[in-house]
């Protein structure tokens, strides 16, 4: 399974992970074979990339990695947030309170993250551009819970963190959509308006002080570079920083109207660079050790010159995947694809292959088989 831009999809490719909308509707189920019509529809709906399970990787029998929360729970959370925010925006609500079902969904997410047996999280997220906010809220919630679990928060604290993370951007309902979805760079005045979403969130969440605090401070940074108040180290509680880390990572790995998604390895590198400048380094590390820099299905070239596909990542070593090799160091095809642990063999990922290289390999492999 690998993430492919919608512009690079071709009929016959098979969907590797379901494509769902903000109301919980599933547009394409896992396993569906793409047609011209489906591809056109995905583009119309505003999807920029989707996961496919193509012949190359299918032949290599790559096991599919599990998400940190179940698809069903994720759908419930996305549609719950969507309904809450839409209704609040339409009615001009002064106060937002998550309904009981949404609170229960957060409890479910806490349980699933705490009990998640998967060794390292593989980020598989697909969303339509116009529904960014709802998916983003749910992702930030799930990722924040991962960090919270790693540092040993209690269930009660995790629940509070989860609700705050889910609600962290509610203030955006008061920021004009043209500004939030602007494809280009924001003007200084527009950016000032965007910054206000933190203050709006404090007002909207006044009945839930812990959530109001998390939402109000999630853009504050330890070195004082954040907003709205330019708080500094010592003034920004760990739970707030956790939401900030999850928020930054999710924003970087998402396709946005003004830029394409960064790969997880690139986003992790940026996060590590922000350690002790923007966020407490221990909290950054608590996150980084849990996230696969090269998700299952990524095609990589190792420093040995060998090429293969990532099949798993050992716990605690996010940049050291196990790779199923199919191209030898001399560029020749390996007769039997075999797995190599980069950790055990002291190898590292030299680079991630791009879409053009992958299609070249697929064609070469195909002509070799026929
Ligand atoms: Fe935000």
Is the domain of 96 the same as that of 215? yes
Domain stop point among 288, 310, 338: 288
Q: Which domain holds residue 20?
A: 2-59
Whole-number Å distance, alpha carbon 89 to ligand 1 midpoint, is 17
Is the domain of 276 the same as that of 358? no
Is the domain of 102 the same as that of 222? yes
Q: Give the pLDDT of residue 58.
A: 54
Whole-number Å distance, alpha carbon 18 to ligand 1 midpoint, is 27
Is the domain of 39 the same as that of 109? no
Q: Determine how β-strand 19-20 pairs with β-strand 26-28.
A: antiparallel
Q: Give the pLDDT of residue 199.
A: 98
Residue 66 included in any domain: no
Instruction: Tell me which residue of 337, 313, 355, 341 sits closest to 61, measured CA to CA.
Output: 337
Q: Give the pLDDT of residue 197.
A: 97
Which residue is associated with the tokens 């196990």? 322
Domain stop point among 262, 288, 314: 288
Is the domain of 202 the same as that of 270? yes
Whole-number Å distance, alpha carbon 63 to ligand 1 midpoint, is 35
Whole-number Å distance, alpha carbon 198 to ligand 1 midpoint, is 7
Whole-number Å distance, alpha carbon 247 to ligand 1 midpoint, is 7
Residue 352 included in any domain: yes
Strands in the chain per DSSP E = 2-5, 14-15, 19-20, 26-28, 49-53, 299-302, 307-312, 322-327, 333-341, 349-352
Burial grade of 238 (CB within 10 A; 0-12, 13-18, 19 or more)? middle
Number of separate domains in the chain: 3
Q: How far is CA 253 from CA 24, 32, 128, 228, 248, in A?
A: 22, 25, 14, 24, 9
Q: Give the pLDDT of residue 119.
A: 58
Is the domain of 35 the same as that of 109? no
Residue 268 included in any domain: yes
Whole-number Å distance, alpha carbon 218 to ligand 1 midpoint, is 7
Q: pTM for this one?
A: 0.88
Whole-number Å distance, alpha carbon 214 to ligand 1 midpoint, is 10
Whole-number Å distance, alpha carbon 152 to ligand 1 midpoint, is 25
Whole-number Å distance, alpha carbon 283 to ligand 1 midpoint, is 19
Residue 226 included in any domain: yes
Whole-number Å distance, alpha carbon 210 to ligand 1 midpoint, is 16
Whole-number Å distance, alpha carbon 57 to ligand 1 midpoint, is 37
Residue 225 included in any domain: yes
Whole-number Å distance, alpha carbon 161 to ligand 1 midpoint, is 15
Per-block average pLDDT, block size 10, for the chain (370 residues)?
80 86 82 92 82 63 65 90 94 93 96 80 70 90 94 96 97 93 90 96 97 98 97 96 96 83 92 94 94 87 93 89 90 84 96 84 72
Q: Give the pLDDT of residue 125.
A: 64
Whole-number Å distance, alpha carbon 322 to ligand 1 midpoint, is 35
Whole-number Å distance, alpha carbon 104 to ligand 1 midpoint, is 24
> 280-289: string of b/e by CB count within 10 Å (b at 16+)?
beebbbbbbe
For residue 303, give the 3-state DSSP assignment: coil
Q: Give the pLDDT of residue 65.
A: 57
Whole-number Å distance, alpha carbon 99 to ligand 1 midpoint, is 22
Is the domain of 252 the same as that of 188? yes
Q: Give the pLDDT of residue 84.
A: 95
Residue 65 included in any domain: no
Longest C-alpha distance within the chain, in Å?
A: 66
Q: Give the pLDDT of residue 4.
A: 81
For residue 364, give the 3-state DSSP assignment: helix
CATH number at residue 216: 1.10.3210.10
Whole-number Å distance, alpha carbon 71 to ligand 1 midpoint, is 24
120 near 315, Cβ under 8 Å? yes
Is the domain of 117 the same as that of 240? yes
Is the domain of 175 the same as that of 311? no
Whole-number Å distance, alpha carbon 21 to ligand 1 midpoint, is 21
Whole-number Å distance, alpha carbon 133 to ligand 1 midpoint, is 10
Whole-number Å distance, alpha carbon 251 to ligand 1 midpoint, is 9
Residue 64 included in any domain: no
Q: Give the pLDDT of residue 370.
A: 65
Is the domain of 227 the same as that of 316? no
Q: Give the pLDDT of residue 7.
A: 81
Q: Give the pLDDT of residue 30.
A: 87
Whole-number Å distance, alpha carbon 360 to ligand 1 midpoint, is 40
Q: Give the pLDDT of residue 61.
A: 47
Is the domain of 121 the same as that of 233? yes
Whole-number Å distance, alpha carbon 121 to ligand 1 midpoint, is 23
Q: Give the pLDDT of residue 25.
A: 81
Whole-number Å distance, alpha carbon 269 to ligand 1 midpoint, is 21
Is the domain of 240 the same as that of 126? yes
Whole-number Å distance, alpha carbon 219 to ligand 1 midpoint, is 6
CATH number at residue 13: 3.90.105.10
Whole-number Å distance, alpha carbon 307 to ligand 1 midpoint, is 39
122 near 295, Cβ under 8 Å? yes
Distance CA 118, CA 116 (A): 6
Residue 293 included in any domain: no
Domain stop point among 35, 59, 83: 59
């Amino acid at each position: 399974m690998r993430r492919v831009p919608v512009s690079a999809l071709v009929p016959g490719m098979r969907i590797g992970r379901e494509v769902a909308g903000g109301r919980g509707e599933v547009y394409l189920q896992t396993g569906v074979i793409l047609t011209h019509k489906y591809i056109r529809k995905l583009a119309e709906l505003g999807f920029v990339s989707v996961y496919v399970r193509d012949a190359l990787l299918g032949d290599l029998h790559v096991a599919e990695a599990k998400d940190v929360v179940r698809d069903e729970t994720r759908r419930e959370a996305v549609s719950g947030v969507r309904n809450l925010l839409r209704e609040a925006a339409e009615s001009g609500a002064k106060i937002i309170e998550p309904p009981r079902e949404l609170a229960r969904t957060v409890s479910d997410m806490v349980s699933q993250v705490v009990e998640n047996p998967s060794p390292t999280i593989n980020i598989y997220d697909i969303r339509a551009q116009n529904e960014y906010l709802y998916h983003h809220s749910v992702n930030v919630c799930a990722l924040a819970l991962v960090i919270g679990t790693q540092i040993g928060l209690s269930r009660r604290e995790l629940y509070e963190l989860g609700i705050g993370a889910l609600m962290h951007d509610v203030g955006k309902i008061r920021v004009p959509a043209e500004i939030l979805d602007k494809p280009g760079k924001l003007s200084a005045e527009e950016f000032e308006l965007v910054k206000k979403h933190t203050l709006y969130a404090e007002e909207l969440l006044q009945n839930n002080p812990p959530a109001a605090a998390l939402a109000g401070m999630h853009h504050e940074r330890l070195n004082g570079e954040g907003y709205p108040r330019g708080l500094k180290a010592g003034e920004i509680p760990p739970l707030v920083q956790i939401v900030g880390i999850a928020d930054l990572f999710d924003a970087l790995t998402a396709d946005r109207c003004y830029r394409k998604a960064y790969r997880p390895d690139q986003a992790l590198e940026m996060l590590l660079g922000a350690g002790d400048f923007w966020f407490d380094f221990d909290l950054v590390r608590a996150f980084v050790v849990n996230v696969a820099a090269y998700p299952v299905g990524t095609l990589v070239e190792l420093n040995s010159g060998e090429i293969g596909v990532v099949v798993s990542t050992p716990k605690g070593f996010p940049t050291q995947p196990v790779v199923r090799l199919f191209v030898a160091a001399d560029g020749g095809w390996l007769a039997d694809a075999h797995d190599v642990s980069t950790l055990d063999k002291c190898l590292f990922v030299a680079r991630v292959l791009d879409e053009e290289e992958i299609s070249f390999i697929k064609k070469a492999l195909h002509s070799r088989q026929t």
